[in-house]
Amino acid sequence: MNYWNPYLETLAREELNKIELSYFRSILSFAKEQSILYREKLHDINPNDIRTLDDVKKIPPTEKEELRRYQDIDPFPYGGILGVNIEEVTAFRQTSGTTGKPVYVPETYESWQWRVEA
């Protein structure tokens, strides 16, 4: 059988869960440090308190309207959803806007590579 990532795709479930939780805590910490939206939204959540996959349920979902509201502040067009320096943005996507104002999604080279891996 061929695998995209043989190491991850053949790990035991409990080992994969450990890696996923570690990545999740890391991303959560980064978002709280770098993005106005997530710093305000998740101010009372400590990434170190996320110890099980069930703990992930403590994180409130992000609604499209929140993204629209926070993107309206500087720097245009990403505003408070931006988590990197605007100079690091190499591409962007946007939603269609059929349910309201489009949401702009900035991409860095690294974030695009992550999407490819996922």
**Residue 26's pLDDT band (boundaries 50, 70, 90)?**
very high
CB-based contacts of 59: which residues, under 8 Å, 6+ apart? 28, 42, 45, 50
Token pair 């059929």: residue: 98
Q: Beta-strand (E) ranges in the chain?
A: 91-94, 104-107
Highest mean pLDDT among 1-10, 36-45, 91-100: 36-45
User: How far apart are the C-alpha atoms of 87 and 92, rounded to whole Å?
Assistant: 12
Backbone angles phi, psi at 43, to 5 degrees: -55, -30
